[in-house]
């Protein structure tokens, strides 16, 4: 059986075929990149004048309880997160490992602290095992709701347990992902967004240690 | 007669144009994967039969006993770039691995400084497009690790797609 297309339609089909094929070509040579969105390179936000932080005490990996004031005399890099987080938290901690390496011998005068916003999962024992994979000197603290609520405004801290998501995990925790620089007197000096290069953070710590 | 000639010409020209850019006519899998890797991670929720000498010797031993009631699993994530070189849209719809109890597709939504990790049904791979799975973005989340994943290890993952045949790949383990 013959199918006789009118001439103009056949011509259109022919051109379309070529067009599609050529189009495929061009796209193959210059593949479209999705998710261009990159973490903005940031120098961090200076807290000026430095903000005096409320003291707090929590169960920790270095002693049954640890207070922020116990770290006076050291420069502190503080991060709120949780061990079940596979992405943002370990990425930040890996960057803090770079910061610590940058400091070299000065690292003795700095403390790296993860405060868990998920104390049900993150007991001091869990935090010890988790942090050892990054740096055994990193300190973990199990934040309880009462304490986190009391100190949250100092940091603009947000966290929320989400048990309503379509995941096999019992729950996930939405949370602030900033890193906080606290000076030797316990005052908040800088806030770094997720993705701030470790070199930027390291240089600020070195400035405080000078 | 003329229309048949043009129709044949169309096919010929299409083949020529396709040939010119190296697209093979054989429809194998149209998905290409590059730089797959899995984040190093340790099993933090020790099983009851293997007591953790390290934590028992510490003052935190009391609190640590709770661990055993809370064996909710340790996690890691796999990252890679997926490229769809075919001319039909596709999507990554799932993955499996022997090293984790569950595997899910996730994304991270950034809302100011707040990060919200969200499970998603699929990661779209438009024709002649690509998707980048990277920290702070799309990832294949491994939930309930069965073993530590150390730098230097490799993890076998089987990826399933809406259209393309499943692909099994090996991903190196390292820190970001
Ligand atoms: Cu995830």
Is the model's pLDDT at A56 over the cut of 80? yes
What value does the mean pLDDT of chain A take? 85
Say if residue A134 is in the same domain as residue A40. Answer: yes
Say if residue A148 is in the same domain as residue A116. Answer: yes
* DSSP-assigned states of every residue in B72-87: ---EEEEEEEEEE-SS
Three-state secondary structure call for residue B36: strand
Q: Are A176 and A158 in contact (CB under 8 A)?
A: yes
Say if residue A108 is in the same domain as residue A130. Answer: yes
Q: Is B11 on the interface with A (CB under 8 A)?
A: yes
Q: Is B13 on the interface with A (CB under 8 A)?
A: yes
Is the model's pLDDT at A109 over the cut of 60? yes
Number of domains, chain A: 2
Say if residue A16 is in the same domain as residue A43. Answer: no
Distance CA B76, CA A115 (A): 20
Over residues B135-146, the mean pLDDT reads 96
Binary contact (A84, B75; C-beta < 8 A): yes
Say if residue A107 is in the same domain as residue A197. Answer: yes
Alpha carbon distances (Å) from B25 to B14, B16, B21, B30: 11, 11, 11, 11
Say if residue A63 is in the same domain as residue A161. Answer: yes
Is the model's pLDDT at A86 over the cut of 80? yes
Helix and strand totals (H; E) in chain B: 3, 10
Say if residue A69 is in the same domain as residue A11. Answer: no
In the numeric block, which tokens belong to residue B162? Answer: 């809406």
Say if residue A23 is in the same domain as residue A44. Answer: no
ipTM above 0.90, yes or no: no
In the numeric block, which tokens belong to residue B27? Answer: 């429809």
* DSSP-assigned states of every residue in B102-137: EEEEEEEEEETTEEEEEE-S-EEE-TTEEEEE-TTS
Is the model's pLDDT at A51 over the cut of 80? yes
Distance CA B82, CA B91 (A): 10
To the question of pTM greater than 0.90 for the whole model, the response is no
Domain span at residue A203 reads: 36-209
Q: Give how far the C-alpha of residue A8 lies from the chain's centroid of Cα atoms, to the nearest Å.
A: 59
Nearest Cα residue to A183 out of A34, A17, A71, A59: A71
**Domain residues of chain B, as ranges?**
30-174
Over residues A35-51, the mean pLDDT reads 71
| Nearest-CA distance A18 → chain B (Å) | 5
pLDDT of the residue at B49: 37
Confidence of residue B72 (pLDDT cuts 50, 70, 90): low
The CATH number of the structural domain formed by B30-174 is 2.60.40.1890
CA of A181 to the centre of ligand 1 (A): 27
Binary contact (B136, A88; C-beta < 8 A): yes
List pLDDT tens digits, range B96-117: 999 999 999 999 999 999 999 9
Length of chain A: 210
Is the model's pLDDT at B152 over the cut of 50? yes
Over residues A133-161, the mean pLDDT reads 95
pLDDT of the residue at B29: 53
Say if residue A48 is in the same domain as residue A79. Answer: yes
Say if residue A85 is in the same domain as residue A121. Answer: yes
Distance CA B4, CA A5 (A): 8
Over residues A45-68, the mean pLDDT reads 97
Over residues A26-54, the mean pLDDT reads 63
Q: Is B44 on the interface with A (CB under 8 A)?
A: yes
CA of B88 to the centre of ligand 1 (A): 28
Give the one of B13, B59, B138 whose C-beta lies nearest to A18's C-beta: B13
Is the model's pLDDT at B83 over the cut of 80? yes
| Nearest-CA distance B168 → chain A (Å) | 22
Say if residue A74 is in the same domain as residue A170. Answer: yes
Distance CA A92, CA A88 (A): 6
Binary contact (B139, A175; C-beta < 8 A): no
In the numeric block, which tokens belong to residue A88? Answer: 């943002």
Q: Is A158 on the interface with B (CB under 8 A)?
A: yes
List pLDDT tens digits, range A186-196: 999 999 999 99
């Amino acid at each position: 059986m013959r199918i006789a297309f009118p001439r103009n339609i056949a011509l259109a089909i022919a051109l379309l075929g070529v067009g599609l094929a050529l189009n495929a070509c061009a796209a193959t040579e210059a593949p479209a990149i999705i998710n261009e969105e990159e973490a903005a390179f940031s120098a961090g936000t200076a807290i000026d004048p430095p903000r005096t932080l409320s003291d707090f005490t929590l169960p920790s990996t270095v002693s049954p309880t640890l207070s922020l004031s116990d770290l006076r005399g050291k420069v502190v890099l503080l991060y709120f997160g949780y061990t079940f987080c596979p992405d943002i938290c370990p990425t930040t901690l890996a960057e803090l490992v770079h910061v610590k390496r940058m400091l070299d011998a000065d690292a003795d005068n700095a403390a790296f602290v993860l405060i868990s916003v998920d104390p049900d999962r993150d007991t001091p024992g869990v935090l010890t095992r988790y942090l050892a994979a990054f740096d055994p000197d990193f300190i973990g603290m199990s934040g309880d709701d009462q304490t986190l609520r009391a100190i949250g405004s100092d940091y603009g801290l947000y966290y929320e347990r989400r048990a309503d998501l379509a995941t096999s995990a019992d729950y996930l925790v939405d949370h602030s992902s900033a890193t906080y620089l606290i000076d030797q007197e316990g005052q908040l000096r800088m806030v770094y967004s997720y993705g701030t290069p470790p070199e930027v953070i390291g240089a600020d710590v070195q400035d405080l240690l000078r | 007669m003329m229309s048949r000639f043009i129709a044949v010409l169309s096919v010929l020209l299409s083949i020529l144009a396709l040939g010119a850019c190296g697209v093979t006519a054989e429809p194998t899998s149209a998905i290409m994967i590059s730089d797959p890797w899995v984040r190093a991670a340790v099993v933090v929720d020790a099983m009851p039969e293997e007591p953790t000498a390290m934590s028992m010797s510490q003052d935190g031993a009391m609190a640590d006993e709770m661990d055993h009631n809370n064996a909710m699993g340790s996690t890691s994530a796999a990252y890679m770039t997926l490229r769809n070189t075919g001319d039909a849209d596709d999507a990554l719809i799932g993955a499996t691995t022997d090293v984790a109890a569950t595997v899910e597709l996730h994304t991270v939504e950034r809302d100011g400084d707040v990060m919200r990790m969200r499970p998603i049904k699929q990661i779209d791979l438009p024709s002649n497009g690509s998707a980048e799975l990277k920290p702070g973005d799309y990832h294949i989340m491994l939930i309930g690790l069965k073993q530590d994943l150390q730098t230097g290890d490799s993890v076998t993952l089987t990826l399933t797609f809406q259209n393309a045949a499943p692909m099994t790949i090996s991903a190196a383990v390292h820190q970001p």
